[in-house]
Amino acid sequence: MIIRKPQALKDHDVTDESLYRGRRKFIKTMGAGSILLGSSLAGNVLNAKARQDDLKNELTSYKDITTYNNFYEFGTGKSDPAKNAHTLKTSPWSVTVDGECAKPGSFALEDLLKPMQTEERIYRFRCVEGWSMVIPWMGFELGKLLKRFEPTSKAKYVYFETLLDPEQMPGQKRSVLEWPYVEGLRIDEAMHPLTLLATGIYGKDLLNQNGAPLRLVVPWKYGFKSIKSIVKIHFLEEQPISSWQKANAVEYGFYSNVNPNVDHPRWSQKRERRIGEFRKRKTLFLNGYADEVAALYKGMDLKKYY
């Protein structure tokens, strides 16, 4: 199988979206060469008819997914990342793993991903601002990666960090947030099989504006928890403080679970606007994934721990 670097990928190298939309189950690939760093696999496995998610929601178009983004490192406007993220160099790339684990280290991305198997997952994606998408991700379970580093019994949380490089990420020259961008999960949330490390969308490698080359996807939480362009994974005992908590803890809690019964102080969370649709729809508790993840929060006051 031919392996190509992400920046070498051309539109004609991947299956057209109209052919892609239709596989209802996860697509599992095999071996080191199958990771979505080289998307020659896409044309081999992604050829199907129109498709939906498990609630029969139509997929958001590739164009909308890649041109309507929050990525403040490249600007605060929704179209800014697509315009400005070309300055990010995603190869070579490395990820440091440290903290409360037995096997820390710094890993080149290709070495980090070699043993992993990618699969396709269609997840709903809900932004705290009230808009949402349905996205076909390619990636692998975060928990399967974390287990390789043998977290100790003290590892109660996992902390992630985005690249800090104002020359590549010019938005970091502005004090919109405290840089680098950081996020965290409780260890059981990180190990949950729905939690994904994504390497692609629609069978194509992640574009820079979507968090290339490696980003987190936690589908039952608001989108800002799904940190992009990850360079560090840290196991720790104490609950970390995320970037948006640092900026405004009243408005942004650590858990940030999608909850229509807990409004943002400046707007309601009861309804959402799916990109590509005119009418708003009701927001689902835990973004519609309650059957899978509600047990993680048994006994917790989710209005207090928002």
CA dihedral 5, 8, 14, 16 (to 10 degrees): 140
Per the CB < 8 A criterion, the answer to whether 272 and 126 are in contact is yes
Grouping H, G, I as helix, E, B as strand and the rest as coil, residue 232 is: strand
Give pLDDT tens digits for 166-183: 999 999 999 999 999 999
Does residue 7 register a pLDDT over 60? no
User: What are the start-end ranges of the H helices in 119-194?
Assistant: 142-146, 187-191
Domain-located, residue 1: no
Q: Which of 12-16, 113-117, 222-226, 252-256 has the lowest mean pLDDT?
A: 12-16
Domain-located, residue 287: yes
Of 17 and 300, more confident: 300
Number of domains in the chain: 1
pLDDT of residue 35: 35
The CATH number linked to 262 is 3.90.420.10
Domain-located, residue 107: yes
Domain-located, residue 218: yes
Nearest to 205 by CA among 131, 260, 250, 139: 139
Give pLDDT tens digits for 245-291: 999 999 999 999 999 999 999 999 999 999 999 999 999 999 999 99
Domain-located, residue 302: no
Domain-located, residue 306: no
Domain-located, residue 22: yes
pTM of the full structure:
0.85
- 185 forms beta bridges with 158
What residues make up the domain containing 105? 6-297
pLDDT confidence bin for 17, thresholds 50/70/90: low
Domain-located, residue 35: yes
